[in-house]
């Protein structure tokens, strides 16, 4: 009893000194680099999908889509349903609010002044005094300049997100995480991506690295985390997460939350520091990869079924 008490005090002391909890991490954090070519060390398939020429060649050679890291249908093919969402986003962008202004009033007809902007997001915002995702910037402007309440997980916000991303279609993702708050957010996001959490005690990396990415998770196809962020937001078969009023657009924030739910992890709040950090990590892992907007969720395309013979 006495011994136990002493031990307890000692442990308490140690615990207070290192107030930090030792989390469980999926292995491999140290092998991550903030560029899409980093995938060569993970799936080893990067050369098969590094640009559209490579994807086309791989397909012509009869490669299975898992050897192309599923980039064939998730990234190469544009989505017709997605185009409709872009049109709706364009409409919201030009729609006048009660004060007679629209987004276009300040950012140009057809978003002239925001071309290429999305490829550099997330970024540090001096105004918000933190790193923010595109959806948070949209929400800030909507509130401040249009008196509209369009937080990150609302329909108009996601339509605008889709439209602004479309204005960067074809640009290379280019976010700088080498210093300051962006470096901090990148490292935080990377650690969270590898941290084991939730009821199953999984990490994002449990599904998005290693054998799982070469395998089929009951018909679903998780890919490595490199490059995917370059085609977000995506058109998604209508599917609503509880509490949201968006169902057919998945922003990256939305996808992260959806994966948390799928794997019994506590879902985060879109636009929060935590989900923003994870997005910084994912976006940086797409650095140097060309944006492709709009594309759609893979389930919508059945071409791969024929090729994989499944």
Partner 1 sequence: MRQFAKPLLAVAAICTAAAAQAQTAGSISGGDEMLDRIRAKWQPGGAEMIPQDVLTMFPCHDEELPCGKIPPPPVERVTFDGPLQGDAKRGEAIATNVRYGNCIACHILPGHEGGTIGPSLSEYSKRGMPLEYTYQRIWDVRAFNPYAFMPVYGPNRVLTDQEIRDVMVFIGTGGK
Stretch touching partner 1 by CB under 8 A, among 152-160, 162-170, 205-213, 291-299:
205-213
CA angle 148, 157, 139 (to 5 degrees): 55
Is 22 one of the binding residues for partner 1 (CB under 8 A)? yes
Stretch touching partner 1 by CB under 8 A, among 23-31, 48-56, 229-237, 287-295:
23-31
Total chain residues near partner 1 (CB under 8 A): 48
Cis ω for the linkage preceding 87 (within 30 of 0):
no
Largest CA distance in the chain: 76
* Distance, CA of 265 to CA of 254 (rounded, Å): 14
CA atoms within 13 A on the CB side of 60: 6
Q: What is the 3-state secondary structure (H, E, C) of 156-198?
A: HHHHHHHHHHHCCCCCECCCCCCCHHHHHHHHHHHHHHHECEC
* Closer Cβ to ligand HEC, 140 or 241, answer by number: 140
Is 181 one of the binding residues for partner 1 (CB under 8 A)? no
* Closer Cβ to ligand HEC, 18 or 127, answer by number: 127
Binding partner at 259 among ligand HEC, partner 1, none, C-beta below 5 to 8 Å by kind = ligand HEC
The one among 274, 300, 301, 307 contacting partner 1 by CB under 8 A: 274
Could you tell me if 164 and 111 are in contact, meaning their C-beta atoms sit under 8 angstroms apart? yes
Could you tell me if 283 and 175 are in contact, meaning their C-beta atoms sit under 8 angstroms apart? yes
The one among 111, 267, 271, 288 contacting partner 1 by CB under 8 A: 267
Task: Give me the residues that bind partner 1 (CB under 8 A), please.
Answer: 1, 4-5, 7-8, 11-12, 14-15, 18, 21-24, 26-27, 192, 195-202, 206-207, 210-212, 215-218, 242, 260-261, 264-269, 272-275, 278
């Amino acid at each position: 009893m006495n011994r136990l008490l002493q031990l307890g005090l000692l442990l308490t002391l140690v615990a207070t000194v290192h107030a930090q909890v030792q989390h469980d991490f999926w292995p491999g954090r140290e092998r991550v680099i903030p560029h899409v070519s980093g995938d060569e060390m993970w799936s080893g398939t990067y050369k098969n999908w590094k640009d559209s020429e490579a994807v086309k060649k791989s397909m012509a050679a009869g490669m299975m889509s898992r050897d192309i890291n599923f980039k064939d249908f998730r990234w190469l093919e544009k989505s017709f349903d997605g185009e409709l969402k872009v049109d709706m986003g364009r409409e919201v962008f030009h729609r006048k609010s009660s004060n007679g202004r629209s987004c276009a009033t300040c950012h140009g007809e057809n978003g002239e002044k925001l071309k290429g902007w999305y490829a550099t997001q997330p970024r540090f915002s001096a105004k918000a005094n933190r790193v923010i995702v595109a959806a948070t910037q949209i929400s800030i402007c909507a509130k401040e300049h249009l008196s509209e309440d369009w937080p990150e997980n609302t329909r108009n916000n996601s339509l605008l997100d889709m439209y602004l991303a479309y204005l960067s279609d074809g640009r290379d993702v280019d976010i700088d995480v080498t210093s300051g708050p962006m470096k901090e957010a990148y490292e935080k996001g990377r650690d969270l991506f590898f941290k084991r959490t939730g009821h199953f005690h999984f990490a994002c990396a449990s599904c998005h690295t290693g054998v799982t990415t070469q395998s089929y998770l009951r018909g679903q196809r998780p890919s490595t985390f490199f490059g995917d962020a370059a085609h977000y937001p995506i058109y998604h078969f209508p599917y609503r997460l509880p509490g949201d009023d968006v169902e057919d657009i998945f922003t990256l924030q939305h996808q992260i939350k959806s994966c948390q739910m799928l794997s019994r992890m506590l879902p985060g709040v879109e636009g929060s520091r935590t989900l923003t950090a994870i997005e910084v990590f994912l976006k940086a892992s797409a650095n140097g990869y060309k944006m492709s907007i709009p594309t759609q969720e893979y389930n919508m395309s059945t071409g791969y079924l024929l090729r994989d013979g499944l």
